[in-house]
Amino acid sequence: MTLMSVSDFPDVPEVEEDGDTLEANALKKARAVSEATGLPALADDTGLEVDALGGAPGVMSARYSGEPPDYERNNEKLLRELADVREVDRGARFRCVVALAVPGEKDRTVEGVTTGRILGSRRGDGGFGYDPLFLPDGATRTYAEMSADEKNTCSHRGRAVRAARKMVEEVLG
């Protein structure tokens, strides 16, 4: 099986991520690529869900502080909104949903989740997005303090990709 990127297909149109859920966005992107290429396609969407904020930023994680997406502004907004919330009450989870669209078959999704909490200040220089604020359960270092290999072992995206690999093997052989 040969894996290709959407960048290998320059005629595939850009897909607007306007779904109400991570699943909706992942499915929309996978379907669009599959329809445009006639090939099976994988796509994902990821979000941070903070309990004290009713699950926000969720599907709006990348654009939490507005357009254009800006990691620094997103982190600042998250810290402002949690300023009066005790750290023990800052439970959160990162979710990544991977969708598989195959022409003529039912679409499928899998997800990876990592639970943790949002710290009161940034720690670490690595990663991106909310990584300096997210401390996974059982860890002593934030995502931003971990190497890429360490993060992939415990991250929501790593878990989703491992589940997606199994899904692809079951569906496509």
The catalytic residue positions are 45
Q: Is 111 helix (H, G, I), strand (E, B) or coil?
A: strand
Strand-pairing partners, residue 115, are: 93
Q: Are 160 and 96 in contact (CB under 8 A)?
A: yes
Residue among 118, 97, 132 at smallest CA distance from 21:
97
Residue with the two structure tokens 């690999």? 165
H or E element in which residue 150 lies: helix 148-154
**Maximum distance among all Cα pairs of the chain, rounded to whole angstroms:** 51
Strand-pairing partners, residue 117, are: 91, 135
* b/e 86-100 (16+ beta carbons within 10 angstroms → b): eeeebebbbbbbbbb
